[in-house]
Amino acid sequence: MIVGVAFFSFLTATFSSWFMRDIETEEKEILERINSMEKTTNEMKSQMDNICPEMLTEINELKEIIKKSK
């Protein structure tokens, strides 16, 4: 009977360990995806910060051209 209880305890511990490993792996993958998305978002924001002044300059130039043509 003691052997049966020990075996059941071992089996339960093995399954618990297996499930926890899967959860930890999934959490790591999710964190990696979030970090990747955050990096991409920051890169896009940086690009937009560089593009916006150029666009404003072009818009102002076009406004001047339109005013002159009237």
Residue 56 lies in a domain: yes
Average the pLDDT over 53-64 and give the result. Answer: 86
Boundaries of domain holding 62 = 46-70
* Number of domains within the chain: 1
The pTM for the full model equals: 0.51
Helical residues (DSSP H) of 1-70, grouped into ranges: 2-69
Residue 61 lies in a domain: yes
Q: Judge whether 54 lies within some domain.
A: yes
Q: Note whether residue 50 is domain-resident.
A: yes
Does 53 map to a domain? yes
Q: Which residue has better confidence, 14 or 70?
A: 14
Gap between the Cα atoms of 10 and 3, Å rounded: 10
Task: Specify if 23 maps to a domain.
Answer: no
In a domain, 1, yes or no: no
Tens-digit pLDDT profile for residues 12-54: 888 887 777 777 888 889 999 999 999 999 998 888 877 777 7
Kindly state whether residue 39 falls inside one of the protein's structural domains: no
Q: How confident is the model at residue 4 (pLDDT cuts 50, 70, 90)?
A: confident
